[in-house]
Chain A
Amino acid sequence: MWSIADDALLAGMAAGDPDAASAFVARFQRRVFGLAVTIVGDARMAEDVAQEALVRAWRHGATFDARRGSVTTWLLSITRNLAIDVMRVRRPAPMDPDALVVLPLHDDRAGPPELAVAGDDAETLRAALTTLPVDQRRAIVLAGIAGFSAREVAESEGIPLGTAKTRIRTAMQRLRTALAAEERAE
């Protein structure tokens, strides 16, 4: 099942191959639904978001450009943007940023090589997140995953806007440095 690369599967789906479409949904549904439910915090709403994300992938698959990133990153970006749009209209429950960082990143289902690469980088990011001061980590997780603006982070954390901006910017700078150091070490 995993012998077909993500971009080939996407191309097949975009070309109208029903088997490729089913395989694409089967491969990515847990990741897409997992991200959606993490952001919106409601299973029914997350299902709608996940379905719309996969439909958009199907609709725009023919114009996917591998030079701009992996299929997984592209698909999760669509999912995140949709989930954030939903949350801008209705934000039912505040997300606990601390809970996310301790969650396991991978399940036991092996994927193609590109998934492993993204997983490695995500592991590095998670490790780097745990080294940040708690206030910076909370701010960057709210912004990075849930799409909170600096103003929303300020309101959620009960801090001035300038402080929220500083926490987000400093955290991103530190994460960027950590990932760059990891790349140099490899």
Chain B
Amino acid sequence: MITCVTARERAPELALGILDGEERAEMLVHLDECSSCQAVAAEHSEVADLFAHLAPHVDAPLGFERRVVGAFRSERRIFTRRAILTAAAVIAAATIASIAVVRVVDADRDTPIASPELRTVAMVGSGGTEVGRVTVSDGVPAALAVSVDYSVPDGVYALRVKSDGAATDLIGTITIVGGRGEWNGRAEIPSRGDPRVALVTTEGSVVCEAHLSD
């Protein structure tokens, strides 16, 4: 565990996104528990964000806009297929859970099973960078689809459900290969205390997390 002095020394590099993995992990662990260093890091992040605004505005090559809009159309077809598959997996998992609950609790009644409500929240890494998404159903336990597709180093991470004032629950592991990884399953989601799903390294550092109450 690093001290506040070390954390404040490293805050500029964290904000600039140039800390190496171990130092970054130590920083994230410290910031998770130190609100005053969080505030310092946030101020540095505001400065770091401005650097990208320094670049000049340059005309893109002829036809760039047409090619990008064309890429949107291609992506839409791929995305639609993926979304259908993801939603189907979540609905299937949630429906199985519903059937199990209904059979145990209400075995004698012919209760229709409604499709669960789904919502998707961003999985956010350091510096507010969006690195993926979590789709979650209502119901207990909730069905979850975790998808990471940006900026997370390859490796195996623990998936944990966290909430304020409660112990974290390990719900599975996710393997990131080539910057991408997916996990589907079910978990008990606390109804209060800002519940979130986090990717955690073997050293216990949070790499990114999604706030399920957003």
On A, residues with C-beta under 8 Å from B are 16, 18, 21-22, 25-26, 29-35, 37-39, 43, 47, 50-51, 54-56, 58-60, 62-63, 65, 68-69, 72-74, 76-81, 84, 100-101, 103-107, 109, 118-119, 121-122, 125-126, 141, 143-145, 147-150, 165, 168-169, 171-173, 175-176, 179-180
Contacts and interface: CB of A to CB of B under 8 A. Distances in A.
A160 to B, nearest CB: 16
Contacts of B53: 72-73, 76, 105, 118-119, 121-122, 125
Contacts of A51: 64, 67-68, 71
A121 B50 contact: yes
Nearest to A38: B55
Interface string B127-165: 111100100000000000000001100000000000000
Q: Which 6 A-B pairs have the closest CB atoms?
A: A172-B12, A144-B51, A76-B52, A122-B53, A63-B122, A34-B58
B149 to A, nearest CB: 9
SS of A interface (majority): helix
Nearest to A146: B51
A84 B127 CA distance: 15
6 contacts: A33-B59, A50-B68, A69-B128, A80-B51, A126-B54, A145-B52
Given A21-B72, A55-B75, A143-B16, A79 B52 contact: yes
B48 A33 contact: no
Nearest to B60: A33
A81 B151 CA distance: 8
B183 interface: no
B194 interface: no
Contacts of A76: 52-53, 55
A78 B54 CA distance: 15
A80 B50 contact: no
A55 B120 contact: no
A25 B65 contact: yes
Given A31-B55, A173-B12, A176-B44, A77 B49 contact: yes
Max count, chain A CB within 10 A of own CB: residue among B72, B79, B120, B128:
B72
Contacts of A150: 13, 18
A104 B43 CA distance: 25
A44 B138 CA distance: 46
B150 A29 contact: no
Contact of B55 (A25, A63, A100, A148): A100
Nearest to A16: B76
A159 to B, nearest CB: 16
- Point out which of B56, B59, B67, B150 has the most chain A C-beta atoms below 10 A from its C-beta: B56
